Structure 1
Amino acid sequence: MSLPIAVASRLRVRHLALAVALDTHRSLRRAAADIALTQPAATKLLHDLEDALGARLFERHAWGMSPTPHGETLLRHARGILHDLAQAHADIAAEREGRQGSLRVGGVTGSVPTLVAPAIRALRERHPRVRIYALVNTSEVLLEALRRGEITVAVTPRPPDDDLAGLETRPLADEPLTVVARAAHPLARRRAIALAALAGATWIVPPAGSPLRRDFDTLHAAAGNRPPTDLIETVSIVATLALLQATDALSLLPLGLARHYEAPGMIARLAVPLTGAGTRYEIMTREGRGLAPAASAFVDTVAALAQRSG
C-alpha cells in the first residue's frame, strides 16, 4: 500500500512527533515545548497535519486536548514509525562503531528460561556485537509495547481478550503446566495428589484476564472445584518465589520455569496430574514489517528451541 503523493509530500516526521507529544501531554503548550516549537508553530503544524489527512485528530477541551478516534488510529502508526526511525538511527550508529545492530525483544516470565534466554545466548554466540534489550512482562504489556514499536518481537501466550489486530503470530508447541510449592512443603513427598483436593489451599496466581489465570480457572473447573478464593495475586516471579518459600501456598507455573527454579532447590513440583493443561506460546511481530537480520535469527532460534522441547 503506497501513500498518496499529495499526502506524502506534506507529511514530515515532526508532524508525527507532535501528535505523539500531544497524546502524552494533552496540552498544546507542553507538547510544543517537548519538540522545541513555539505554541503558534505547533498550532499551525497540527492544522497542516489534520488538513493533509482530511480528519480532525484532536478535540480541544477547557482542560486540554484528547485524540479523536481518527487521532487514535494515527497515533498507533505514528509511534511505530518513530520507533522504527529511532531503531534505524541506532543500527546505523552501531554499524559505524563496528557493532552488528540492536534487537529489542519481549517475553512473559514463563518463556524466559526455555525460549527467550537460550535464544539470546545463541544469537550472541553467532553475533557477539549485537546489542540486545529484553523486556519481561505480562502479555498485555508486551503486545502494547509491540504495537507501539518499543519491541520488535514478543514471545507470549495469546491474551484471552486480544484480537491481535496489526500483529503477525507464529504458534509454538504447548508447554505443560505444573503445581509447585516450597521444597519442604508437606505435600512435596506425596506420590499422587488430586487437584480436586487442593481447592481450599492458598494459591499464588496472576491477576484475572491473564493467560495463566485462565488456565488456572479452567483446570479447577475441570476438576469439579469451585473457583478458589484464598488467592494472592501477583505477576512477579520474584514475589511468587518469596511467598512460596515463606508459606505453604501453592502456585501454577509452566514446566520449564518450574524446572528452572526447582534445580537449585528453591521450589518443588507436586505430583498433581493436569491432563491436557498447557501454555501455548506464540512468536508475535508487527504485521507487514520486515525483520532485521538479528530479529529474524532470534525468531528462527526461538521456533527451533520450541520444536525441540515440544
Structure 2
Amino acid sequence: METGEALMRRVKSSQLVLLLALAEHGSLRRAAEAAGATQPAATRLLHDLEAAVGHTLFERHPRGLRANAMGEVMIRHARSVRAELDRMMGEIAALSSGYAGTLRIGAIPSAVPFLVAHTVARLKRRHPRLRVFVEVATSNLLMASLAQGSLDLALGRVLDADSLPGFAVHGTVDEDLVACCRRGHPLLARGTRASWAELSRWPWVALPEGSPMRQILAGAFRGGGTQEPDDLTETASFLLVISLLIQGDALSLLPRDVLHSTFGQPFIEALPVEPYPRMGPYAILTRRDRDGDPAVRLFLETLGLVLSERALGAFEPGADGPGSDEPGAVP
C-alpha cells in the first residue's frame, strides 16, 4: 500500500480542488467552472488523481458523476485537508495581526451562557491575544465539525464516545434541570412544591419538539399523570425563553447553568416541583491530533477551574485575577 508521503508527491492541490468541486456540484462541467479549469483539463486532473490512488473514484450517471465508496473516502479526507489549511491560514493571520493563537470551540446551547462564557472570559482576561471563535449548535453538527477539523474542541452529547477513535474525552459535565419562572410569580408565593399536573395548567415556553430537553419535559408531565399544556411557546433560544418568562406568568424547564447565568440570575428563579426530571451529562471532547495545541490545553485547564468552583458553589464572576491558579501563557 502506498504511503501518505508518496501520495503527497503525486497528488496536486488542483486535483483536490476539483475533487471537492465534484462532490459539491456532481457535474464535471460545473465542477471545472468552479475550479477555474476547462472541462478537458478537469478530465485529465480527475484521470491523473484516480491513477495516483489506484482506484476509480466516481461513477457516471445520467445527471453527472457520483462518488463511489473510494471517492467518498477521498472527499472526506480532502475536506479535512482544506480545514487544516484554513486553520493554518487563520493562525498565520492571527500571528501577523498580533494575536497569540486561535481556538475554535463548539458547544451545545445550554453550555454557553454559564460554562463557556465564564471560561472564555477568564481565559481572555489572562491571554487577551488569543483569538477565540465559538460555534453554537446541536451535538450532531458539533461532532461533524470536530471530525472535519473545523473545531478544536466541543462540548456536546455523544451516545458512545468509545466509537469515536479520533476524539479524546476530557470528562463530562452534569446538567441539572430546574423548572423556572419570573421572580414574584404567584407559584413562588405559596412556598410549597407544585405537582406537574398543576404546572400543566400554566403557560409554558419550551425547546422545540424532538430536542432532548423537550422529551424530558414531556416525560415529566406524563409521569405526573397529565399532558403537555395547551398554552405552549416553542423556541431554541434560551435568551428568548428568559425574556418571555420575565414578561408574564409562563414557566420553563431550563438547565441550572442557564438559571445561574448573567442574564438569568437577576430575573428568574427555580420553582419547587416534585419530582425534578434528570438529564444526562454532556462530554468535553477534542481531536486527538489537537491535544497538544497550547490553546486547547489552556481552555481545558481554565474550564477545569470553572467546573471546580461551580461544583463548590463558589464561583464569583470577575473575581479571578492573576494568581496561583493561572494556567501557563500561550507560547
Q: Which string of whole-angstrom CA distances, capped at 9 and with x for unpartnered residues, describes residues 9-61 of structure 1?
A: 32233333322222223333333233322222222222233333334433333
Distance in structure 1 (CA, Å) of the matches to 2:288 and 2:31: 29
After TM superposition, list the pairs within 5 Å mapping 1:205-244 onto structure 2: 205-221=206-222, 223-225=223-225, 228=228, 230=230, 231-244=232-245
Larger Cα Rg: Structure 1 or Structure 2?
A: 2
Residue 256 of structure 1: how far off its partner (Å) = 1.2
After TM superposition, list the pairs within 5 Å mapping 1:248-287 onto structure 2: 248-260=249-261, 261-265=263-267, 267-275=268-276, 277-287=278-288
Paired AA for residue 122 in structure 1 = R
Residue 258 of structure 1: how far off its partner (Å) = 1.5
Match in the other structure for 1:42? 42
**Given the superposition, is the C-alpha separation of residues 55 and 205 from structure 1 closer, same or farther in structure 2, using an over 3 Å criterion?**
farther
Indicate the percent of aligned positions where both proteins have the same amino acid.
37
Paired AA for residue 141 in structure 1 = L
Residue 8 of structure 1: how far off its partner (Å) = 3.3
Distance in structure 1 (CA, Å) of the matches to 2:190 and 2:60: 65
Contact 1:157–1:280 (Cα < 8 Å) also in 2? yes
Match in the other structure for 2:315? none
Q: Which string of whole-angstrom CA distances, capped at 9 and with x for unpartnered residues, describes residues 259-301 of structure 1?
A: 2233232x33211245472451311222444442112211222
After TM superposition, list the pairs within 5 Å mapping 1:283-298 onto structure 2: 283-298=284-299
**Given the superposition, is the C-alpha separation of residues 264 and 258 from structure 1 closer, same or farther in structure 2, using an over 3 Å criterion?**
same
**Given the superposition, is the C-alpha separation of residues 120 and 44 from structure 1 closer, same or farther in structure 2, using an over 3 Å criterion?**
same
Distance in structure 2 (CA, Å) of the matches to 1:195 and 1:162: 37
**Given the superposition, is the C-alpha separation of residues 209 and 196 from structure 1 closer, same or farther in structure 2, using an over 3 Å criterion?**
same
Match in the other structure for 2:119? 119
- Where 1:9 maps in the other structure, the secondary structure is helix
Match in the other structure for 2:149? 149
Report the TM-score when normalising by structure 2. 0.79
After TM superposition, list the pairs within 5 Å mapping 1:65-144 onto structure 2: 65-144=65-144
Match in the other structure for 2:307? 306
Contact 2:107–2:155 (Cα < 8 Å) also in 1? yes
Distance in structure 1 (CA, Å) of the matches to 2:154 and 2:17: 25
| 5+ long unaligned stretches in structure 2 | 312-331
Contact 1:102–1:130 (Cα < 8 Å) also in 2? yes
Contact 2:197–2:224 (Cα < 8 Å) also in 1? yes
- Where 1:105 maps in the other structure, the secondary structure is strand
Q: Which string of whole-angstrom CA distances, capped at 9 and with x for unpartnered residues, describes residues 199-218 of structure 1?
A: 45544333444332343345
Distance in structure 2 (CA, Å) of the matches to 1:47 and 1:138: 39
What number of residue pairs does the alignment pair up? Answer: 308
Paired AA for residue 58 in structure 1 = F
Match in the other structure for 2:30? 30
| 5+ long unaligned stretches in structure 1 | none
Match in the other structure for 1:175? 175
**Given the superposition, is the C-alpha separation of residues 179 and 70 from structure 1 closer, same or farther in structure 2, using an over 3 Å criterion?**
farther
Q: CA RMSD in A?
A: 3.1
Distance in structure 2 (CA, Å) of the matches to 1:175 and 1:168: 21
- Where 1:187 maps in the other structure, the secondary structure is helix
| Range 206-215 or range 171-180, more displaced | 206-215
Distance in structure 1 (CA, Å) of the matches to 2:226 and 2:19: 49
Match in the other structure for 1:20? 20
Distance in structure 2 (CA, Å) of the matches to 1:207 and 1:232: 9
